[in-house]
Structure 1
Amino acid sequence: MKTQSILKFFAFSLLITQLFCSCSKPSQESNESQVKPNVIIILADQWRAQEVGYMGNTQIKTPNLDKLASESLIFENTVTTMAVCAPWRASFLTGQYPLTHGVFYNDKPLPNEALTMAEIYKDQGYATGYIGKWHLNGHERGEHHFSSRDLPVPKDRRQGFDYWKVREVTHNYNNSFYFDENDEKHTWEGYDVFPQTDSAISYFQKNKENPFVLMLSYGPPHDPYFSAPKEFQDLYDASTLEVRPNVPEALQDSARRVMAGYYAHASAIDFAIGNLLDALDKAGIADNTILVFTSEHGDMLMSKGVLKKQRPYDEAIKVPMLIRYPAKFGEKSRKVNDPIGTPDLLPTLLGLSDIASPESIEGQDFSGELLAGEDLGNEAALIMLPVPFHEWKFQNGGREFRGIRTKRYTYVEDLKGPWLLYDNEKDPYQQNNLVNDPEFSELQNQLEGILMEKLKVTNDTFLPADEYMIQYNYLYDAQDSLRQPNYLEVNR
């Protein structure tokens, strides 16, 4: 694919987007024999909320997502409860908080006993499929922490998914390998986003006569930032990109370079999603399909001088989310402003599918509000980090925290007490910490009360990290991740 062709594609896609925004799309004929909706989840890894055209970003090229947004519910405050890969996945599939399902640290196993999305839908007669990154098999105590990443996931560890083209974890997105249902090893030829999308299209073409739930889990735009196909890298000139004001001046050139590579991954994914959407229309099942696009967590991208995730700032905890379901929501976009947390996603999808949530689910079902055309009525979403590790371990400033993200405010406590308070409406780049400012004491007390109630409801006693590692019989991945005895004295 030549760069010129890509540029023509984006120009054409942008024109189509404008046409879709200005007029209604003809109604698609539904498959009358199918009553139960299909469910397709498109999951990106480390794609932060601000980096899509439909959210007002004029320098990233995402014409297919922009078109999808023109037909979807646009969630403006989707909050990842714990901004790390494996914990998000476990919370999404179970509808539970990390301290319930026990995956609050990467490369730890989700228990076989967990009741998950695929098992619930399968019990209702659905076919189930999973393609791409899994990151829930984990490793046994005492094994190397990356020991399972290159191995097949045993059948009893697939949590109810039958169709299976999966790699536990890789951040090599070119000619990477995966395993099928029979543990046979194969290669995704080229940039893996594209053949993974082709597999998803093949799956729903073959299963369109019966209800199915399919999860398509991409690896990028997670770092490494510079491995997207060249034609997508050529779409961006790093020197022309604007960075967020909270990127330190000394790091702005580095941030532009990283952003250019990150944007290239995002545009490549957008291109693949365009192919999937076209195929869904041609299959004749788009109207009766609940299509979700979202991400596990964001990326700081040099905001506040750091990369990646785990931290309680918006760049890490806020992710994009679109839900399109023409049969119930019509074909016009609508914004949803109230916050929604990771454990709320599964019960809401079940509600939209007319499936009752099992008692094991802790999240809230907001399907009723969405179907009624209302906002969620949700005051705040809980955010947490029970155990700092990897890039934000104790030795480089990591700390345990609990907090909330409301529509307007962020409030966070660490083990010493109140830590962060931001008015995100007046201070969208979170540069002015209002915590313990007497002028905002009433607001702080109000937000603290909301946080305490959230912790009470979720049975979270907010203990030091070591307590959870002992409780779940986990080991830290490396000695330099250990929490030192004098941690509280030297921290902050």
Structure 2
Amino acid sequence: MASPNVKQPNVIVFFTDQQRWDTTGVHGNPMGLTPYFDRMAQNGTDVHHSFTCQPVCGPARSCLQSGMYATESGCYRNGIPLPQDLKTLAHHFGDAGYQTGYIGKWHLADEEPVPAEKRGGYDYWLAANILEFSSDSYNAVVYNNDNQPVKLPGYRVDALTDAAIRYIDDHKENPFFLFLSHLEPHHQNYLDDYPAPTGYRENYLSNYTPPDLAALGGTSHQHLPGYYGMVKRLDEAFGRLLDSLRSLDLLDNTVILFTSDHGCHFKTRGNEYKRTCHDSSIRVPTAFQGPGFDGGGRIKELISLIDLPPTLLDAAGIKVPEEMQGKSILPLLNGKKSEWPKEVFMQMSETQLARSIRTHRWKYSVKAKDKDPIAESCSDVYYEDALYDLQADPYELTNLIGFESHQEVANGLKQRLINKMVEVGEQKPRIISAASVQSGQRKVSLNELSGDYIHY
């Protein structure tokens, strides 16, 4: 329950799908795509080093709704419904007296439309399980509480945002928790394309290309203009949402989280868009504003998606349940930084059964070669697969796994990864070292072995 004698803030999650961190101005994108997000990050709290813990839609969403890693909830791949006995953010906010609403993409059920018992406890429902299948960019079809189809007018981003603004206006008298889950800038599956609003794609032809995409290509030359157009419209919609709160005198008492489920590597790391350990797949834009976050500045610690559910509850004065596996970031804003983890942990599924950790300096990843990543969630044996030096190689273009010069680094990271896997509830695995590779002139000095170089 919420603490007594404390005015409960409203809480809104503005959730995008497949948005890279470097689409934003605060992360160096020069194209002016995200002025509203950038202003929020600058005036509120910029979670500058923010990472998903599972770079695929359904599992990431299960982590955000439950506060538990995907292997703990059982939702380790797409198509596995959220267990009905699992308490979600909606349950926790509802128990604390909040009205709860969900609008947009769910992707945590196994049928469409989603029956009431598979909606994670949300009171108000205007959503689709797999929005990219039920709708198109100018044909936004979702389902209401009675599971009747509702076609919302406008470009899909605008249609869902308009619905969220109506919800806010209708529920403004009492505290509410609203989860607005967009599909954009995810690709439209049947087209394998990124359909921006009419006229937007043309604005971003031959524009800035992040260095990893410039080096590796993938589908970025075909898809980046449309992707950027989607990001621009999302930011404009976010601005309209903020304006609605301001006009209703709710802005100062509303906690707002902007984040995404994973990034997009545009088929540079495999024949799809995510599900790898690379920052292009796992790093996302994240910022907070509202009570407890305004003027919070830039958080330099590594923050995982698994830390966001306890943060939202903590910000609302609701006790964080013991089963949640992340940590609220609010203590970081109050100077309590000594006990914060020095790494984030990722689980990968579907195209590979893999595990990875990322420090400020290093990325280390392993995969199970003999397991079916669709049928199995864990393995007892993994093989070293990747090691990147993010100081020298921030776009992860040179894989150092097996290099003789980096063996001590790999061994240290191996143990840290094993410890993390056990900590989150997995069995202690055996990790097979990669074949040795001659390093030439490469070497690592002793003071670099800790892996705690701060790459800001």
TM-score range relative to shorter protein: 0.7 to 0.9
Alpha-carbon spacing, 1:285–1:446, altered in 2? closer, same or farther (3 Å) = same
Alpha-carbon spacing, 1:317–1:352, altered in 2? closer, same or farther (3 Å) = same
The 3-state SS of whatever aligns with 1:348 is helix
Quick one: which amino acid aligns to residue 211 of structure 2? Answer: R
What is the deviation of 1:125?
0.3
What is the deviation of 1:406?
1.5
Q: 1:370 aligns with which of 314, 333, 337?
A: 333
Quick one: which amino acid aligns to residue 239 of structure 2? Answer: G
Corresponding residue of 2:161:
197
Corresponding residue of 2:113:
152
Q: 2:72 aligns with which of 100, 113, 120?
A: 100
Corresponding residue of 2:261:
296
Distance 2:148 2:269 in 1: 44
Corresponding residue of 1:165:
126
Note the alpha carbon deviations across 1:427-451, whole angstroms, 9 max, x for none: 1111122222222222222212211
Residues 1:447 and 2:413 are matched in the alignment: yes
Larger CA deviation: 192-201 vs 121-130: 192-201
Q: 1:175 aligns with which of 139, 149, 171?
A: 139
Quick one: which amino acid aligns to residue 166 of structure 2? Answer: S
Note the alpha carbon deviations across 1:35-84, whole angstroms, 9 max, x for none: 01111000000001111122110035222212222222111221111100
How many residue pairs were aligned? 406
Quick one: which amino acid aligns to residue 160 of structure 2? Answer: Q
The 3-state SS of whatever aligns with 2:211 is coil
Note the alpha carbon deviations across 1:353-410, whole angstroms, 9 max, x for none: 221112221222332223447587221111112x42xxx3xxxxxx321111112211
What is the deviation of 1:264?
0.6
Residues 1:430 and 2:396 are matched in the alignment: yes
Q: What does 1:13-412 correspond to in 2, within 5 Å? A: 35-59=7-31, 61-138=33-110, 148=111, 151-171=112-132, 172-224=136-188, 225-237=193-205, 239-245=206-212, 247-248=214-215, 251=217, 254-304=219-269, 306-325=271-290, 327-330=291-294, 332=295, 334-372=297-335, 377-385=340-348, 387-388=349-350, 392=351, 399-412=352-365
Q: Is the 1:246–1:304 Cα contact (8 Å) retained in structure 2? A: no
Larger CA deviation: 360-369 vs 37-46: 360-369
The 3-state SS of whatever aligns with 1:411 is strand
What is the deviation of 1:208?
2.1
Distance 2:47 2:148 in 1: 39
Distance 1:411 1:443 in 2: 9
Quick one: which amino acid aligns to residue 404 of structure 1? Answer: I
Distance 1:462 1:248 in 2: 37
Alpha-carbon spacing, 1:376–1:308, altered in 2? closer, same or farther (3 Å) = farther
Tell me the percent identity.
31
Quick one: which amino acid aligns to residue 67 of structure 1? Answer: R
Quick one: which amino acid aligns to residue 96 of structure 1? Answer: M
Quick one: which amino acid aligns to residue 340 of structure 2? Answer: G
What is the aligned-residue RMSD (CA, Å)? Answer: 2.1
Q: Is the 1:246–1:429 Cα contact (8 Å) retained in structure 2? A: no
Alpha-carbon spacing, 1:50–1:320, altered in 2? closer, same or farther (3 Å) = same
Note the alpha carbon deviations across 1:298-341, whole angstroms, 9 max, x for none: 0002434654100111100111101112x3233x3611121122
TM-score (norm 1): 0.78
What is the deviation of 1:194?
0.7
Structure number having the greater helix percentage? 1
The 3-state SS of whatever aligns with 1:422 is strand
Distance 2:137 2:83 in 1: 28
The 3-state SS of whatever aligns with 1:115 is coil
Note the alpha carbon deviations across 1:78-119, whole angstroms, 9 max, x for none: 111110000001010100011111111111111100110000
Alpha-carbon spacing, 1:302–1:155, altered in 2? closer, same or farther (3 Å) = closer
Note the alpha carbon deviations across 1:184-210, whole angstroms, 9 max, x for none: 211021212112111111212222221
Q: Is the 2:50–2:303 Cα contact (8 Å) retained in structure 1? A: yes
Quick one: which amino acid aligns to residue 202 of structure 2? Answer: D
Q: Is the 1:92–1:346 Cα contact (8 Å) retained in structure 2? A: yes
Quick one: which amino acid aligns to residue 37 of structure 2? Answer: L
Distance 1:376 1:263 in 2: 38
Corresponding residue of 1:11:
none
Distance 1:462 1:419 in 2: 18
Q: 2:422 aligns with which of 436, 443, 456?
A: 456
Q: Is the 1:336–1:375 Cα contact (8 Å) retained in structure 2? A: no
The 3-state SS of whatever aligns with 2:182 is strand
The 3-state SS of whatever aligns with 2:281 is helix
Alpha-carbon spacing, 1:162–1:245, altered in 2? closer, same or farther (3 Å) = closer
Alpha-carbon spacing, 1:121–1:210, altered in 2? closer, same or farther (3 Å) = same
Corresponding residue of 2:373:
none
Distance 1:88 1:305 in 2: 20
The 3-state SS of whatever aligns with 1:216 is strand
Corresponding residue of 1:6:
none
Q: Is the 2:275–2:281 Cα contact (8 Å) retained in structure 1? A: yes
Q: Is the 1:243–1:256 Cα contact (8 Å) retained in structure 2? A: no
TM-score (norm 2): 0.84
Distance 2:42 2:302 in 1: 20
Q: Is the 1:179–1:185 Cα contact (8 Å) retained in structure 2? A: yes
Distance 1:337 1:408 in 2: 13
